A and B are shown apart, each in its own frame.
Chain A
Amino acid sequence: MLPSSRLMAQGKRAIPGTLVFDGDAAQAGYALNAMCYSFNSLANRQAFAADEEGYMERFHLTPEQKDAVRQRNVLGMLAAGGNVYYLAKLAGIFGLNVQDLGALQTGMSLEEFKAALLEHSVTETRVAQDGRLAA
């Protein structure tokens, strides 16, 4: 992620802890995201699992992107232009869901990350009086 000072120097708005996936990120991350998009296909997921290095080479990942993938470093992938919607497909190959990703990025254990979400716990329900809703 770009430091706030650099974002502001570029006239961009800095949102704490948040990467806005703009044109700069999209250009930087194109190869990594293209590889992840290919994982919609089971055959491609299997090809990656069988030969990670060869598969990354096929999609022309940058050295920074390759290192982040090798290290399973989610924040590194984001810094290299990865977009989470595509990275989620790569995470799936590693057996990680979005809650695992959340824990990895925030430095919490999975249980701590889930507990942090539960701190917001609320359920509010309203149902109007209406004949079409009668049981």
Chain B
Amino acid sequence: MSKICGGIFTSHVPGIGKAIAQNLQNDPYWKPFFDGFDPIHRWLAAEKPDVAVVFYNDHGLNFFLDKMPTFAIGAANEYRHEDEGWGIAFARPFQGHADLSWHIIEHVVASEFDPVMCQAMTVDHAVAVPFELCWPGKDAFPTKLIPIAINTVQHPLPSPKRCHDLGKAVGRAIESWGGNEKVVIFGTGGLSHQLEGERAGHINVDYDKFCLRNLAPDPEALLQHDTLDIVELAGSQGVEILNWIAARGALTGSVRELASNYHVPISNTAAATVLLSHSERVLA
């Protein structure tokens, strides 16, 4: 049976991608953020997950407002990042796992979710930046991708509880898969930030710390706020925490925080990176 070995939660600011392209990892502005990935690199080298299931939001690469799915699950054997308007396209393709995607789709639809199913989709910086951060360099990614897009753009957005429940259904689906893959769950985006309006530049360290404190031991604490509460607290893009809430939902067993790095600011964003380990049973 498949196993979920843990969760990786990280901001996905496009500027991080630019910093990677320009090799600025040791630049004083960027170093405190990139250093947060040292424990994740060691953990990934030890765990060697086969598949990454990534909860993220598309920013206008694959989806436009003509057809905006609340939830969309990739079911392709390959995905690519493409130019999002700034001329940067990460070259490394992402290998998919269509069979496991379809198993997840079957399971979550049986659990009364209604995702859009995508046999062809591009993935934007919200997937590409976390992959580049986790597996730096030029070699092919050692881990396959299953992207799950959550609408955080066009209101009404799904509720935090709905996202958490979707994550639970995805977690149960993975653990009922007959293969022997080791799976890591990603939640990308956040933490507090707001790009538009008179309140552009909004940061809320208190709310971010509340999320970071509760993510591992009590994720349901994050469900006390509805989506507009979160917009008010964390900013109109801080609502990307929905991706973290969904990803945390997929970790239904025993969870322990292995690493956490919070660094403000990166561009307009309060950046954070968290690594959680996951096992089905409590360890002796």
The chain A residues found within 8 Å of chain B, CB to CB, are 1, 13, 15-23, 26, 30, 33-34, 36-37, 39-42, 45, 74-75, 78, 83-89, 92, 97-99, 101-102, 105-106, 113, 116-118, 120-128, 130-135
Contacts and interface: CB of A to CB of B under 8 A. Distances in A.
B42 A134 contact: yes
Contacts of A105: 196-198, 200
Contacts of B154: 21, 26, 83
Given A41-B83, A130-B258, A133-B42, A121 B264 contact: yes
9 contacts: A18-B194, A22-B155, A45-B85, A83-B153, A102-B268, A105-B197, A121-B265, A124-B209, A125-B261
B264 A122 contact: yes
B232 A106 contact: no
Given A105-B197, A106-B201, A116-B201, A22 B156 contact: yes
Given A84-B195, A116-B201, A120-B270, A89 B236 contact: no
Contacts of B257: 126, 128
B47 interface: yes
A41 B197 CA distance: 27
Given A26-B65, A84-B196, A101-B195, A89 B84 contact: yes
Given A16-B199, A17-B198, A132-B42, A125 B85 contact: no
Nearest to A22: B155
Contacts of B267: 97-99
A122 B205 CA distance: 9
Given A18-B232, A98-B268, 8 more contacts: A18-B194, A18-B197, A18-B231, A87-B196, A101-B200, A123-B262, A124-B260, A126-B259
A95 B35 CA distance: 30
B217 interface: no
B46 interface: yes
Contacts of B32: 123
Contact of B60 (A42, A86, A116, A128): A86
A113 to B, nearest CB: 6
B83 A40 contact: yes
A113 B201 contact: yes
A4 B210 CA distance: 29
Nearest to B46: A132
Interface in B176-224: 194-203, 205, 209
A18 B236 contact: yes
Interface in B241-284: 256-265, 267-268, 270, 277
B203 A117 contact: yes
Contacts of A40: 60-61, 82-85
Contact of B259 (A39, A98, A99, A127): A127
Nearest to A17: B199
Given A85-B59, A133-B42, A117 B201 contact: yes
B195 A98 contact: yes
Contact of A132 (B43, B84, B262, B265): B43
B65 A33 contact: yes
A6 to B, nearest CB: 16
B198 A75 contact: yes
A128 B256 contact: yes
Given A84-B195, A105-B196, A15 B65 contact: no
B84 A120 contact: no
B142 interface: no
A21 B277 CA distance: 36
